[in-house]
Structure 1
């Protein structure tokens, strides 16, 4: 039998981690129903909507609501408490029978709500992690984060370039290099180019109708490319949820905008909109110079490689996407790419500081 009617858990969840989820599950098991209140300050760099969505996905059996709370915390100041309580009660107006926290303020919160106060693992023995620790070192706390949070925090690196310039080989080599680090890095993901799979299916379908058809007989329309871009995004998201703090992609939905220009001509606003839905952090542009063209049955654009390289470069520059160009032999390209990724990871995640607290 449940001990309490309506329970409440509140916090910043900036970002949510295993300790938060243990708190929510404990409260859920002791209450007939549970509300989780996510409070975010305007200065913080993870949007409130994202935190609410992450908590709802992880805890589909509780009610999750969000509120903006721009008042700093001072547990000794009644006026500050009054300001916070105005936010809390506006977001959760119904009666609360028990509040569950891992913090000392839980007793006062319960008193003000006329509810029981339940402390859960206040010493963080079961899950020795905090929001501060995650913000300071996400990679070090990676196994204490749920898949949607890992997907949001993973540094995404895209290798792109004209046909037969070594993008697949390089993306796979980079993933292998970081997997060799071990630990959480052993799960470093590689996302293949969906456009190639799509092309193989188009050629196979054509050959069912016309045995002996060749790649040059395949045609693309502008409607093909939003499908390719969305599938590429979906596969990237799946890999980021299961992977390490860095993810390597063999092209991406932004690259699809250039391939659209190559095969259908001009720009497609829908493909560009799809390309902008997912945040990525570094693009590695493989130069065609010095790389022999290999016709693998799905390529016919050797003479277009200089144009494609220029179009990728122009598009990356026009849209403000950070990129570097890779030239020289394969070992030099891998070394340059690895140095760039190491520099990206060394910059950290740059979370905005939360509002200061006085205790």
Structure 2
């Protein structure tokens, strides 16, 4: 090891491949490394999330310690008093152990090292080895997706949920969108549970023999959301979900007459809902469906549940080609909106 205790300071807004390379560079040269994560409160990504993401990404290097501190002081590299304030915060975060090396890719690195009476160790200052920056990622996360770790991607991913009554094409739309946008889609867990319940009843049983209770819908809601969370880590910038916990509320109401608090509590708003209309779509019995007689009611119930939603809701009607075109347009508009993260200090 070249140094006893290295220091890395940054906002990590968000953590990206350049940050990870810098931290790995320091870890390979120091007996101990303290990484101070120091954003301002005005920024869009919470401090605790950034620390958690970095800890997860660098779990294989236990001698690297991550410390989070909010730093709301204005930045002025020409003002010694501003330097004093920031460095006092960094010293407190780093603890009592002497810092003998400061690692950075920024122009402020030499002065920061001087103030710690430490050696400055520059890493990739021209971004030649890892051509990415926090500014570029914030401007267009989708264009820099490969520079983000799975946990960071999951935070940025735009979730699109397709809902609708039975046999209205939700799965067809979800699968087609995932193929079009070269991303991941999340199948319906309730269908998987229906298959298991039906199989447990024996070969003579039909879907009309399957019974449901509140615990089943709680399981469906939680498993559906957990599957979406897991898929978000490996997804592209769009994640397509064939139903969600909010839709499970309506299915619970359909079977049990009301939805339960546990299912309602599992519901989260995605970034976009696509509602498939039942009109003009023939009902196809595949052995797992039992709701042809309530399709009109369910479409209306979905409309009512999504009325006034804080996210866009696009209803898909007409031919399959028309539905897919409308769905693709809605997803493209969602991506084109960008992420609109607050500017750092």
Q: TM-score, normalised by structure 1?
A: 0.91
Alignment of 1:1-359 (within 5 A): 2-60=1-59, 61=61, 62-95=64-97, 96-179=99-182, 188-207=183-202, 211-276=203-268, 280-317=270-307, 319-355=309-345
Structure 2 unaligned residues grouped into runs of 5+: none
Aligned-CA RMSD value: 1.5
Q: How many residues matched? A: 341
**Contact 1:254–1:272 under 8 Å retained in 2:** yes
Q: CA shift at 1:5, angstroms?
A: 1.6
Counterpart secondary structure, 1:295? coil
Change (3 A) 1:101 1:281: same
Under a length normalisation based on structure 2, what TM-score does the superposition of the two structures give? 0.94
Residues 135-192 of structure 1: CA deviation (Å, up to 9, x unaligned): 112121111111111111121111110111110111111112223xxxxxxxx11111
8 Å CA contact retained: 1:316, 1:322: no
CA distance in 1, matches of 2:172, 2:48: 38
**Is the Cα contact below 8 Å between 1:230 and 1:274 reproduced in 2?**
yes
Separation (CA, whole Å) in 2 of partners of 1:254 and 1:321 = 13
* Per-residue CA distance 1:256-281 (angstroms, 9 max, x = gap): 222222223322222222222xx621
Alpha-carbon shift at residue 319 of structure 1 (Å): 4.8
Deviations 1:70-89 (A, max 9, x none): 11211111111122123222
- By how many angstroms is 1:318 displaced? 5.2
Query: How far apart, CA to CA, are the structure 2 residues paired with 1:270 and 1:82?
Result: 51
Partner of 1:185: none
- Kindly indicate whether the alpha-carbon contact (under 8 Å) linking 1:158 and 1:248 is maintained by their aligned counterparts in 2: yes
Counterpart secondary structure, 2:240: strand
Structure 1 distance, partners of 2:256, 2:93, is 50
